[in-house]
Amino acid sequence: MAVRVTIFEDSKLIREALEAIINGTPGYTCCGAFSSGNNWEQDINRSQPDVILMDIEMPGMDGIQLTRCITQKFANIKVLIQTVFDENNKIFNALCAGASGYILKTDPPHKYLEAISEVNNGGSFMNAAVARKTLNFFAQKNIILVTPEGTDYQLSKREKEVLMELIDGNPLKNIAARLFISLETVRTHVKHIYEKLHVTNRTEAIMKATQQGLQK
């Protein structure tokens, strides 16, 4: 079944380009494209998306506010923030609002498709540069998820390998190819990693691994 994608983007040119890319790729379908979030609840109920591509800068309610409303009202819908900005505070606010990922508009079309697939499969996607900025921002703000003392989380060798790939920002599909295992096996490892680290998403897993030196 094709991944259903709804677009919120105020630029007509970008909106139509994304719609063409999504509809032109097998396994994806654009079920709605809107220039603002003024009628967001009605638009989402009508389009029934799996994933929403969300512009961060829109007239009226911006993408971060809209993401917060959507993730509170529609728990099963994943939101992928897309923007030309990579400022730390915008990244942090988007993630706090419930976004499952953050992609830059300068990223190529295949990255968009990877990101959509990744968040639809329960993962979390970030442009690699954005991921590094996020970790630096959290470090500068002294945001700590764990106590400084080392803890043995009983990660297996394979789970540590998958964790390293997550830290490097690789999508689950790429991790499967790099480690010569199936995508379903990667998902299982990621689930176990989250359970053992007591986190709920990739960002938290990366932060915890970095803060406790699990990547060493």
Q: Please tell me the predicted confidence (pLDDT) of residue 128.
A: 64
**Structural element, H or E, at residue 79:** strand 78-83
Whether 88 contacts 136, CB under 8 Å: yes
CATH of domain 3-139: 3.40.50.2300
Q: Residues 30-40: pLDDT tens digits?
A: 999 999 999 99
Tens-place pLDDT, residues 30-84 = 999 999 999 999 999 999 999 999 998 888 888 999 999 998 899 889 999 887 7
Please tell me the distance from the alpha carbon of residue 186 to that of residue 27, in angstroms, as a whole number: 21
Query: What is the per-residue pLDDT for 118?
Result: 85
Task: With both helix axes pointing from N to C terminus, report the angle between 183-197 and 172-179 in degrees, rounded to the nearest 10.
Answer: 110
pLDDT of 216 = 55
CATH 1.10.10.10 applies to domain 146-211: yes
Beta pairing partners, 78: 51
Amino acid letter, 98 = G
| Domains of the chain by residue range | 3-139, 146-211
pTM of the model: 0.69
Tell me the pLDDT tens digit for each residue of 159-188.
Answer: 999 998 887 777 888 889 999 999 899 989
More confident residue, 171 or 17: 17
Q: What share of the chain is helix, strand, coil (3-state, %, to 5)?
A: 50, 15, 35
Query: How far apart, in Å, are the Cα atoms of 213 and each of 89, 141, 150, 216?
Result: 25, 19, 8, 6
